[in-house]
Amino acid sequence: MRYSAFAIVREALRGNRHWAPVWREPEPKPAYDIIIVGGGGHGLATAYYLAKEHGYANVAVLEKGYLGSGNVGRNTTIVRSNYLLPGNLPFYEWSMKLWEGLERDINYNAMVSQRGVLNLYHSDAQRDAFARRGNAMRLHGVDAELLGRDEVRRLVPFLDFENGRFPIQGGLRQPRGGTVRHDAVAWGYARAADRRGVDLIQNCEVTGLTIEAGRIVGVETTRGAIRAKKVGVAVAGSSSRVAAMAGLRLPIESHVLQAFASEALKPLIDTVVTFGAGHFYISQSDKGGLVFGGDIDGYNSYAWRGNLPIIEDVMECAMAIWPGLGRLRVLRHWGGLMDMSMDGSPIIDRTPIHGLFLNAGWCYGGFKATPASGWCFAHLIATGEPHPHAAAYRLDRFATGAVIDEKGAGAQPNLH
């Protein structure tokens, strides 16, 4: 069923009783050409591009819970391509370009909203670093504007510009950045992949990887063994656990990241703002709630839930940038499980096991990467060769020293 304005009118006249299910619920087949482990944004996008760009229809996505139950449905929806390093910039800009055409491509309203992303700076040194980043972006054809204090004040007048510790001096803005409705991305890619014949198997946890003579030949699951010629792993915060099934130890730590949503307000803030002196970012959802978040937990965990110390930390940052938020009622908060790599950049690569491919290390920035990650991972799985935009995301870069340390924080995952 194609979605259109005409379909909305037609179904409204028919009492909305004839909408087709968004995807099928197939039983797993005994064998597939390609299995993708993980039905998050990256796994679903990979399956879609495998079918669309490379002509593979005999593909299954195996998801241990329900589609979109992981980070793809838990993030703060921010998309941007304001990176500095050559390994990252072309990849994230390619992702922005795919976001810009996504809704037409998959015939699904993902609520792509290019409302701009504004990173605040609070010192001369930080302004210089942002100027350098903005210049790197512009050299790569990415939009960037360095704003002074008055220009920022015109955009977001309610911030605390005179804050005693962190006065706002200005900001680096990417006008094409913004937000995308997170779970609509999962549903949209799922529907589009399903329409091209991909089997989406929910409640199917992969419990083992079957390897014969150094080559992957299938997976063990809670719904039985399934054979496959190739397997792609895209399980975000569970990457190290699934890789361990193949005897691999990854340069990844898992940490919890939390997010918060307030009661609904009238339209108040029409861009994304990030605090430059702490870790805090905020935007307003189309339902009116303010959506915000901050730092990850400083210790490793596989938990998927929030906790009190980070709430205090995030609220302190919120009050430092925007004291008016103290009047706000927070409705809910939640946690997701982040796959933090040692240099803060992702991995899209082959593994030492023939036919087993890895997509991991997205830290807390993997939502914006969803389209490009799926595109490049599909290319890698289909052709066996890295896509040029993702060529730097190699697994062996931690051995060779070719790391992509965007923040310059060193090998400490919780600082990236």
Ligand X SMILES: Cc1cc2nc3c(=O)[nH]c(=O)nc-3n(C[C@H](O)[C@H](O)[C@H](O)COP(=O)(O)OP(=O)(O)OC[C@H]3O[C@@H](n4cnc5c(N)ncnc54)[C@H](O)[C@@H]3O)c2cc1C
Binding site for ligand X (CB under 6 A): 37-43, 62-65, 69-72, 74-78, 205-206, 234-236, 238, 242, 257-259, 293, 336, 362, 364-368
For residue 338, the cross-strand partners are 255
Count CA within 13 A, CB hemisphere, residue 77: 30
**By C-alpha distance, which of 303, 297, 278, 249 is closest to 413?**
297
C-beta closer to ligand X: residue 168 or 226 = 226
- C-beta of 6: minimal distance to ligand X in Å? 32
C-beta closer to ligand X: residue 32 or 127 = 32
- Give the residue at shortest CB distance from ligand X: 40
- C-beta of 13: minimal distance to ligand X in Å? 36
- C-beta of 162: minimal distance to ligand X in Å? 28
- C-beta of 284: minimal distance to ligand X in Å? 14
- C-beta of 68: minimal distance to ligand X in Å? 7
C-beta closer to ligand X: residue 232 or 336 = 336
Q: Give DSSP secondary structure letters for 18-60.
A: -PPPSS--PPPPSEEEEEEE--SHHHHHHHHHHHHHH---SEE
Place of tokens 């990252």: 88
**By C-alpha distance, which of 211, 229, 230, 210 is closest to 219?**
210
Pair 392, 400: CB distance under 8 Å: no
- C-beta of 258: minimal distance to ligand X in Å? 6
Which 3 state secondary structure label does DSSP give 32? Answer: strand
C-beta closer to ligand X: residue 190 or 259 = 259
- C-beta of 152: minimal distance to ligand X in Å? 21
C-beta closer to ligand X: residue 4 or 300 = 300
Q: Per this entry, what is the length of the chain?
A: 416
Q: What whole-number distance in Å separates Cα of residue 372 and Cα of residue 12? A: 36
C-beta closer to ligand X: residue 70 or 355 = 70
Q: What whole-number distance in Å separates Cα of residue 51 and Cα of residue 57? A: 5
Q: What whole-number distance in Å separates Cα of residue 130 and Cα of residue 119? A: 9
**By C-alpha distance, which of 391, 399, 335 is closest to 90?**
391
**Kind plus residue range of the DSSP H or E element containing 192:** helix 182-195
Q: What whole-number distance in Å separates Cα of residue 177 and Cα of residue 88? A: 16
C-beta closer to ligand X: residue 78 or 318 = 78
